[in-house]
Amino acid sequence: MNLRAKLSIYCAILYKFADKILLPKEMGTKLSVNINKIATIRNARGGNTPDVVQVAIDCETFGADGITVHPRPDERHITEADVMALSGQVKTEFNIEGYPNERFMALLKAVRPAQATLVPDPPHVLTSNAGWNTIKEADFLKQIISEIKELGIRTSLFIETDGEMIKKAAELSVDRIEFYTGPYADLFETDKEAAVAPYRDAAKIADACGLEINAGHDLNLKNLRFFRENIPNLAEVSIGHALVSDAIYLGLENTVMMYKRELEE
């Protein structure tokens, strides 16, 4: 019996009992603040206002458990220079997202963040809006994940709720998956139970396969608590657009604290 067959059997058995055998969480669900939008505002005018490094420091002071950036090739928000500057200042977990091309890998080698979140974005997309096809891209991802883990960096794959894709991700030896939660957010206002159901089922599969779970995309103060309550093994959420938008009205310190409260038990 090959490795994939053994892993599929193992996942199936644990999936059956996942409600009773959930992996323990580390200190609850962590909040990583994505500061891309801060850089977008700065770049719209030029100069260094707002200062993305100072905002990252402030978010940590206000209670954020980590800082996330996505340095895209066109540098329309976070730049390579920002990544280098942040690497010396972020004291919590530093998470760098991106498509794993040569440029991205070079940044990881230079910075050695706590986590690298791999996304399948082509260069022209406005925002990450789909997960990896882990079956089709298995050979590519397996090599990349191995290289990143050799650097001592935790790996995460941006992924949707397809069970087979999740099982394949486990075979690739990735540490975590990050659920693309756009579909959840789109459906939440009209039918929140239907919105969360695929993620609840997918989380059981991931948990049974030994994968830790992150989540991100369009999570906000209205839908975050319900998602967290239904994904009891949720390790981390990465939130940027909604949090920065809320901060315009509520203030950054208050907003970070409000999002943290939504993640409390």
Catalytic residue numbers, as ranges = 70, 97, 217
**Distance, CA of 217 to CA of 239 (rounded, Å):** 7
**Distance, CA of 23 to CA of 188 (rounded, Å):** 27
Specify whether the CB–CB gap between 185 and 220 falls below 8 A.
Answer: yes
> CA angle, 111 as apex, 75 and 98 as ends, to 5°?
45
Q: Token pair of 89, please?
A: 């200042």
**Distance, CA of 135 to CA of 119 (rounded, Å):** 15
Instruction: Using CB atoms within 10 Å of the CB of residue 124, give its burial: 0 to 12 exposed, 13 to 18 middle, 19+ buried.
Output: exposed
Whose tokens are 């309550």? That residue is 229
> CA angle, 15 as apex, 19 and 211 as ends, to 5°?
95
Length of the chain: 265
**Nearest by Cα to 70 from 109, 26, 27, 120:** 120
DSSP-assigned beta bridge partners for residue 213: 177, 234
